[in-house]
Homo-oligomer: A and B are copies of this chain.
Amino acid sequence: MSIYAFRVHKFSVGVLGASGYAGRELCALIARHPGAELAFAAAHSRRGEKSLIGGREVTFIAGDDAPLGDTELVFSALPHGESAKWVARAREAGAKVVDLSADLRPGNGAFDVAALGTTLGASLAAAPYGLTEYEREAVRSASVVANPGCYPTAILLALLPLLTRGLVAPGGTISVMAASGVTGAGFKPREDLLFGEVTEDFRPYAVGNGHRHLAEMNAVLRGLDCDADLIFTPHLLPVARGILATITVPLAAPVAKPLDLWREHFASEPFIEISEQVPTLRDVVRRNVVRITALPAANVRTPTLIIVSAIDNLVKGAAGQAVQNANLLLGLDETLGLPL
């Protein structure tokens, strides 16, 4: 048996917002990426600080000191509302960008195109939605990508085989209950995220109303001509990482062997695992995969599927998918540097 590897070029990539959970995960992934090297890790409030990330020491710089023009690709893991203007700066400096914030995502509307000027604004407004397995070709030819939210990644990928085939019952209600580890809530200290408050607890939040991700998912559903109502209730889990979504979907018609549908739809996708066993967080943490099962609900009159979908919120739900998109933007093998 023989292994052979050869590479001549490492792309220069930078991270804005590098001190949060997604930013750190990006730095760790880049450290092990055979085709990229970390040009800078910017975190304004920690500029000058050193931090051990992924086994390497990283020194944070201020965003204003980031050599955007000397960088081939920039990841922005900056907060929603603040990110778009940095995306614009990076684009003006010539770098390609993967934006992990919500600013450029469909359904979000927080981003003011006009304020950026016509050309640049239009270019950002046209950023494809980087749910890679859904918009791969658009990503491949883009300069800016809007990396999806963590919940939408888990939920939309699980629904795609039904949505693209028009199998959801028209006018039906898709009910999604999803639970996330606390890193999904960010690295900024908050009383309700202290260990003493989270351990041995389990909490729904944003119940009944507009979590930002609901609009993002509805925009994709509408784009796929699905008129179903989506009810989405996120919960906070006492774990560090992972999202698990349990989805109830009424069908237009019964589906005989649901898993075959998913297997067919995602045939040859390296990061999508269709499983007869019900996925759990353990199956997916620290890996850039979504793991999905689908089962018919028993003893109900409306044919209904129960779909369970699990991801690592920081990998496939954020930094991993961002690297997957970056690989496409840079013309690299899509799987490079990503933990399977």
Interface membership of A80, Cβ < 8 A: no
The smallest beta-carbon distance between A139 and chain B, in angstroms, is 25
How many copies of this chain does the complex contain?
4
Residue of B195, B239, B283, B298 near A182 (CB, 8 A) is B195
Residue of B6, B239, B298 near A4 (CB, 8 A) is B6
The smallest beta-carbon distance between A305 and chain B, in angstroms, is 8
Q: Quick one: given A202-B244, A202-B281, A203-B280, are A298 and B209 in contact (CB under 8 Å)?
A: yes
Number of interface residues of A (CB under 8 A): 78
A74 to B306, CA, bound (A): 41
The smallest beta-carbon distance between A162 and chain B, in angstroms, is 16
- Residues 230 to 261 of chain A near chain B (Cβ within 8 Å): 231, 233, 235, 237-242, 244, 246, 248, 250
Q: Is the CB of B5 within 8 A of A4?
A: yes
Q: Is the CB of B295 within 8 A of A207?
A: yes
A193 to B196, CA, bound (A): 8
- Residues 193 to 217 of chain A near chain B (Cβ within 8 Å): 193-205, 207-210
The smallest beta-carbon distance between A295 and chain B, in angstroms, is 4
Interface membership of A278, Cβ < 8 A: yes
- A195, A239, A296, A301 — which one has the most chain B CB atoms within 10 A of its CB? A195
Q: Which residues of chain B are within 8 angstroms of A200 by Cβ–Cβ distance? A: 181, 199-200, 239-242, 281-282, 285
Q: Quick one: given A196-B21, A200-B200, are A207 and B300 in contact (CB under 8 Å)?
A: no
A74 to B6, CA, bound (A): 32
**Chain A interface residues (CB < 8 Å from chain B):** 1-10, 21, 34, 37, 52, 55, 171, 173, 175, 177, 179, 181-183, 187, 189-191, 193-205, 207-210, 229, 231, 233, 235, 237-242, 244, 246, 248, 250, 278, 280-283, 285, 287, 293, 295-302, 304, 306, 308, 340
Q: A195-B238, A200-B281, A204-B280 are in contact. List 9 more A-B contacts (CB 8 A).
A: A2-B6, A3-B34, A187-B196, A189-B193, A194-B195, A202-B242, A204-B244, A207-B246, A208-B297
